[in-house]
Amino acid sequence: MPIIDQGYQHWSGRLTGHRWRWLAITRHGVKIAMRSYFLRYVLLAAWVPALVLVTTLSAWGLLERKSKMARTFIQFMQFMNPGVVADPRHYCGAVWRLAYGYFFHVELFFAMILILIVGPGLISRDLRVNALPLYFSRPLRRVDYFLGKLGVVVTFLGMVLIVPAVIAYIFGLLFSVDLTVVRDTFGLLIGAVAYGLLISVSAGMLILALSALGRNSRYVALLWLGLWFVSSVVSSVLTAVHHQQQRYVYHPPPTSSELMTRQGPKPLTMNDAAASTAKKSDVPVSRNWRALLSYTTNLSRVGAKLLGTNAAWKQISLLEPTASGRHRLLARFGGPWYPWYWSAIVLAGLLGLSLCVLNLSIRTLDRLK
């Protein structure tokens, strides 16, 4: 019978610094999550909008070069004002910003699905199997544990938000006429990266806080769906009711005397109201706070500020011959138009609440280390 020495054996590995200990948790979490085939399919589907963004920026570069290959692309641009297609170099920055705006609008949906798959079990699974004493028995701080778990969410969201945005920007530069496009679009690259980090950090901290509230990841997933869908539905319903009330103010129903005589003063229509408002300002300013109830709408509003999509729509609206036409274009395609710092305050409040929940949930268990 062999005798195995159970004594101390020297470890000859290479020690890393304390600041990078959270990376081991992130690497392990990503490896575990990638075992799911459903997650892989969602990642592949999330890269389809990235291919569309790369194709759009590349084709716009060919349009600037007046290449014959761009004729096919022009056929798909019939919905846009002909003045934009006629002068592609002048409207290059605006088109790029709108392309990135639509890209992030679609990718925000896939980001919510990825968080639904990856996020609920990040902390709740450790609470269920009582794995926190194993974590904190090592030289690991709470901030290292949180950063490691947050790194899992940021990794997957970065794969579908930040990395495609940077790659599309590089392809757009390669197909552009000259390097002057860097001067017009470099701020867009910074804004796209900042917007991707904002979504990753904000949503990541929120799902970690929800995951720390219970030991069952299914309940955490239901809470995330409620925060995502229910808040959007409530905000949409209240916004629709508000618009209906505004329409009633601008276009009231006829009174009984008007129905009998079919005469009287002509009521103010929505077009007249838009035209009178457009005389004061070309940008439809809104104070509708109901959109703040939706978490994704708040992200989109801050993203519109970082990407400059509203400014791009304002530039394109100048091609409209009348002020009322410009106002209708901005009201239909641009927006939301309420102040962006309202959404920033809401997101900052959710971030502070998430930090408080994480601190209170892990504080007592942290003494086990």
- The amino acid at residue 113 is I
Torsion 146-150-155-158 (CA) sign? negative
pLDDT of residue 273: 42
pLDDT of residue 286: 64
Give the whole-angstrom CA distance, residue 22 versus residue 145. 6
pLDDT of residue 27: 93
pLDDT digits (tens, 9 = 90+) for 206-258: 999 999 998 888 999 999 998 888 888 888 887 777 666 666 555 555 555 55
pLDDT of residue 276: 43
Terminal Cα distance for the chain, rounded = 39
Q: What is the DSSP letter of 7?
A: S
**What's the burial of 76, exposed, middle or buried (CB within 10 Å: 0-12/13-18/19+)?**
exposed
Average pLDDT, the chain: 80
28: its two tokens? 């392990």
| 66 has a pLDDT exceeding 80 | no
pLDDT of residue 33: 92
pLDDT top residue among 24 and 337? 24
pLDDT of residue 1: 55
**340-349 own/partner pairs: CB under 8 Å, 24+ apart:** 340/301, 340/302, 340/304, 340/305, 342/289, 342/292, 342/301, 343/292, 343/297, 343/298, 343/299, 343/301, 343/302, 344/302, 346/292, 346/298, 347/198, 347/202, 347/298, 347/299, 347/302
Q: How confident is the model at residue 26 (pLDDT cuts 50, 70, 90)?
A: very high
Q: How confident is the model at residue 369 (pLDDT cuts 50, 70, 90)?
A: very low
| DSSP annotation string for 13-31 | S----GGGTHHHHHHHHHH
| 202 has a pLDDT exceeding 90 | yes
pLDDT digits (tens, 9 = 90+) for 88-129: 777 888 889 999 999 999 999 999 999 999 999 999 998 888
**What's the burial of 142, exposed, middle or buried (CB within 10 Å: 0-12/13-18/19+)?**
middle
What are the boundaries of each domain within the chain?
21-253+266-368
Q: According to the 3-state scheme, what is the secondary structure of 99-114? A: HHHHHHHHHHHHHHHH
Q: Of 15-19, 24-28, 188-192, 245-249, where does mean pLDDT reach its minimum?
A: 245-249
Please say whether the beta carbons of 67 and 138 come within 8 A. no
Across residues 63-74, what is the average pLDDT?
69
Q: Which of 115, 127, 123 is nearest to 155 (CA)?
A: 115
Q: How confident is the model at residue 267 (pLDDT cuts 50, 70, 90)?
A: very low
pLDDT digits (tens, 9 = 90+) for 126-168: 888 888 877 777 777 888 889 999 999 999 999 999 999 999 9
- pTM score, two decimals? 0.83
- The amino acid at residue 164 is P
Please say whether the beta carbons of 151 and 33 come within 8 A. no
